[in-house]
Amino acid sequence: GKGFAIGSAALAALALFAAFTKAVGLESIDLTQSNVVTGMLLGGTLPFLLGALTMGAVGRSAQKMVEEVRRQFREITGLLEGEA
């Protein structure tokens, strides 16, 4: 279920990170450098920010669609009965 999906995603991310470090020839990552810590923080928060913005946009679009359908049923006579 959900745990398996999370575990496989974490393993895939770890494998991609290992492949990247090998491809660019990194021996180690220095966590005392501020740009490394900043990159890790931004990389960890950006997916959540983008996900939240996307879900908000979908919610607003769905609400506008519901309002438009209600408006059409209200204003177009016979639409609900299939006679319009």
Q: Is the pLDDT of residue 1 over 80?
A: no
Structure tokens that stand for 48 in this block: 């959540």
Q: Which amino acid is at 18?
A: A
- Tens-digit pLDDT profile for residues 7-55: 999 999 899 988 988 999 988 888 899 998 999 899 889 999 999 999 9
Structure tokens that stand for 79 in this block: 């639409």
Write the CA distances from 17 to 12, 13, 24, 58, 74, integer angstroms. Answer: 9, 6, 11, 31, 56
What's the pLDDT at 28? 84
pLDDT band at 80 (very low <50, low <70, confident <90, very high): confident
Contact 45, 38 (CB under 8 A): no
